Amino acid sequence: VTLDFRSDNTHGVSPEILEALARAGHGTMKSYGGDAVTERLRQRCAAIFEHEVSIFPVVTGTAGNALTIGAMAKPWGAVFCHDEAHVHRDELGAPELFSGGAKMIPIAGANGKLEAEALARAIDNIGLHFGRTSCVSLTQATEAGTVYTPDELRALCDVAHAHECRVHLDGARFANAAAHLGVAPAELTWRAGVDALVLGATKNGALAAEVIIAFDPTLEEELAPRWHRSGHRMSKMRFLSAQLEAYLTDDLWLRNARHANAMAQRLAAGVGNVIQPVEANVVFARLPREIAGYIYYDWTIFGPDAVRLVTAFDTREEDVDAFLAAVRQVK
């Protein structure tokens, strides 16, 4: 029994991804991304998203998000985001570092979601003509475990573009959102107005792999030097690209996400006192006190007795059920 609902990043690795790594080790290959695996990955991303893309694989979401925001925002620009956004709260100023000091403007919103009207108000409130110096950063699925619909995304992107802001999508749990909605990835990205997605794999079965997927072709010249200069352009890139290629092969990304989502639903159904809609693989609930033998995080931002429970691609039904049994004992 896995006793751990702390985060999807405490879990291990999908066998398909480990096998891909082993395969990628054969022979020599051009370094720094000039290899065949990386080129295949680019083509696969283009096919899945139905759009020409430039790609920049990195090892962490912090890197992917901050590099993309840095490419979109001038040092004197602003970055509008939800006030619970990981890029604002948990990265010690990574977007500030990679943008040369752009200002984060956190905006409140229910269920972890930005609303179009609140976004418009926040941009107007800054009261300066920023020109094309600023961006909006969205998170899909959100930090609250909720999911933006394509219409919600489009409304936010429309506000952003009307104010000359580009749109960055933090997709650490994009697979969970896509699996939940069951719509084409294009509907959740460029067709809604997203200019660049950071697609996460680490939380969903990879060792360490995220990829910046830029739909706006003007971003490449800003991203390429920042990627290299920040130490995020791996020399043996094939080992990063191989993880992502396997992730995007035979729907592994969606299969893993569907499973994690299903486990979250099972958990939510049993645990009760759920305090946010459960649409991805994260459950927020009020629990009486710590459940013996299990670990997870308190989430006091949602109240003194709130906790966060995260499921993963390899969470088993019996893990969930054992936890639910333990909860019932306490109640």
Which 101-160 residues touch a second copy, going by CB under 8 A? 101-104, 125-128, 131, 133
Residues 168-227 touching a second copy, rule: CB under 8 A, are 202-203, 207-208, 221, 225-226
> Closest distance between a second copy and the C-beta of residue 319, in Å?
10
> Closest distance between a second copy and the C-beta of residue 151, in Å?
31
* DSSP structure class, residue 306: E
Cα separation of the two ends of the chain:
21
Residues 236-265 touching a second copy, rule: CB under 8 A, are 236, 239-240
Instruction: Map residue 82 onto helix, strand or coil.
Output: strand
DSSP for 263-301, written as a single string: HHHHHHHHH--B-S---SSEEEEE-SSPPTT-B-EE-GG
Residue 51 interacting with a second copy (CB under 8 A): no
Distances (CA, A) of 296 to 4, 195, 283, 284, 292: 6, 34, 11, 11, 11
> Closest distance between a second copy and the C-beta of residue 204, in Å?
12
Q: Contact, 82 vs 113, CB < 8 A?
A: yes
* Closest to a second copy by CB, 94 or 214: 94
Q: Is the dihedral of CA 264, 266, 268, 270 positive or negative?
A: negative
Burial of 3 (0-12, 13-18, 19+ CB in 10 A): middle
> Closest distance between a second copy and the C-beta of residue 302, in Å?
13
Q: Which residue is associated with the tokens 């999911």? A: 147
Residue 230 interacting with a second copy (CB under 8 A): yes
* Closest to a second copy by CB, 101 or 109: 101
Residue 317 interacting with a second copy (CB under 8 A): no
Identify which range of 151-159, 229-237, 248-256, 284-292 contacts a second copy by CB under 8 A. 229-237
Residues 10-49 touching a second copy, rule: CB under 8 A, are 10-13, 18, 21-22, 24-31
Residues 53-112 touching a second copy, rule: CB under 8 A, are 58-64, 66-67, 74-76, 88-89, 91-94, 96-97, 99-104
Dihedrals φ, ψ of 37, to 5°? Answer: -65, -45
